[in-house]
Structure 1
């Protein structure tokens, strides 16, 4: 055997890559042994492949997938630094997002530890106690359409706000008189094809050019309300709290529900977002057994 022929065991020791990992990299074409003994079928690595093995190990540590590592190695061989930098920047953004998420989890767990580790306290920290409100009728600027849940809400909010802040409506001294709200007309959660209405309480003479946008009056209602503090994806905590409350108090929930947004995610951290959930209610009819 030539001095340059390195068996898999020794190559594993030299690179600190396990045999299992080396066999996987061989199958994926990332690090294929350069020499194969035609008689024994044994495969051997060479000294020049040690550097390649170390690169793969480093990329793996940085969190790149095998497919991404393959593209990075290919870009390096083609002397394409722009592609490599793009991959690094994308991975950096992913890591920063993960760090933010872990910091939020850390904060929640620290708060939970102060409450003797009780799981129920974790949820109570984010949601206020339910209250029953008599909500008066509201004059609102409204637009309603079906679409992807998150994208459509963001789009409609932008269009409603743009209408109010237009030069014509500012000259007419149009003002907002309450927080912008999402009105849910669906009986179940839908990420796509959701029936979404965005409404903003306003005063003044509003000029509306969009034929799908209108000035309307939301009827007065009696509703159970809770305020949720935290990222929008966790707002279901508020709904769960309301549904538990209505079940305990013999109340029936009816559509549509409302979510009122008190601050802007572009201006405050996610953990400080404030959302009020209002669900209309009525007394359950007592059924009698005949």
Structure 2
């Protein structure tokens, strides 16, 4: 048997933490002296503590670790799925950190050259284009800010299934139209759509007409900068919004290994402002 102090030293976990773990039922002392309350752990519990520490390094919460420890059926299978999810989460964070480091490096370089850290906006290209009418198979709903990721997957999945069931022909990449400029208590008025060649029940006409077009290569975090630049351009050139802003996802995010491979087209339908004279 090992005293709590010995157990603490071997596993590099404070006695205070061990007492807390016992309090929440994560790992209990093998024996407690009823006379003085001294806690003792078995040699076999060393591996359990190492296991807990290993899962903590993967950012599992104590509650998640407790669930894993208490699982008896298909433990290895469930653990593999849990580890895979954590791996995906960490890889996403790694990409975010890498992107932030690149941005920091670029900003430092700009400042050393006497430029503003916002000078990158000058590199955003804006084209004035005419977009022809298209037929959209779509789903429109109010989306809360935190629900976008799940809705993208659900809605596009449902639309592609309908296309297959109805033998329709995809004419262009998937797109999302934003029918409101800001979130209301009910969410953002959003339409998930796929252009198809056939005009059938369930499809609708969409005629964007004159649009500002920008191609974004890389992370979706750059979308706000594109929106900003397009609005500034429109204001400066005397244009205003004429229809729903929309994004076209040229590349499928589930099919790329790096955010740098993402290609998104942003369209801002516009018209000339009426003259006040």
TM band (smaller chain): 0.7 to 0.9
Which consecutive unaligned segments of at least 5 residues does structure 1 have? Answer: none
CA distance in 2, matches of 1:162, 1:53: 47
Which consecutive unaligned segments of at least 5 residues does structure 2 have? Answer: none
User: What SS is found at the alignment partner of 2:41?
Assistant: coil
Q: 2:83 corresponds to which residue?
A: 91
User: What SS is found at the alignment partner of 2:253?
Assistant: coil
CA distance in 1, matches of 2:120, 2:178: 24
Larger radius of gyration: 1
Note the aligned Cα RMSD (angstroms): 3.9
Q: 1:184 corresponds to which residue?
A: 178
Is 1:35 aligned to 2:32, yes or no? yes
Q: TM-score, normalised by structure 2?
A: 0.72
Q: What is the aligned counterpart of 1:23 among 19, 24, 27?
A: 19
Offset at 1:233?
5.8
Contact 1:184–1:257 under 8 Å retained in 2? yes
Offset at 1:19?
2.0
CA distance in 2, matches of 1:9, 1:101: 36
Q: What is the aligned counterpart of 1:226 among 200, 203, 214?
A: 214
Aligned length: 265
CA distance in 2, matches of 1:51, 1:165: 52
Contact 1:256–1:279 under 8 Å retained in 2? yes
CA 23–234 in structure 1, closer or farther in 2 if over 3 Å, else same: farther
Contact 1:263–1:274 under 8 Å retained in 2? yes
CA distance in 2, matches of 1:265, 1:90: 22
Offset at 1:257?
0.9
Q: 2:60 corresponds to which residue?
A: 64
Contact 1:111–1:122 under 8 Å retained in 2? no
- Cα deviation, 1:23-55, whole Å, max 9, x if unaligned, reads 2212112233321343x4x32213444444333
Q: TM-score, normalised by structure 1?
A: 0.70
User: What SS is found at the alignment partner of 1:45?
Assistant: strand
CA distance in 2, matches of 1:233, 1:107: 10
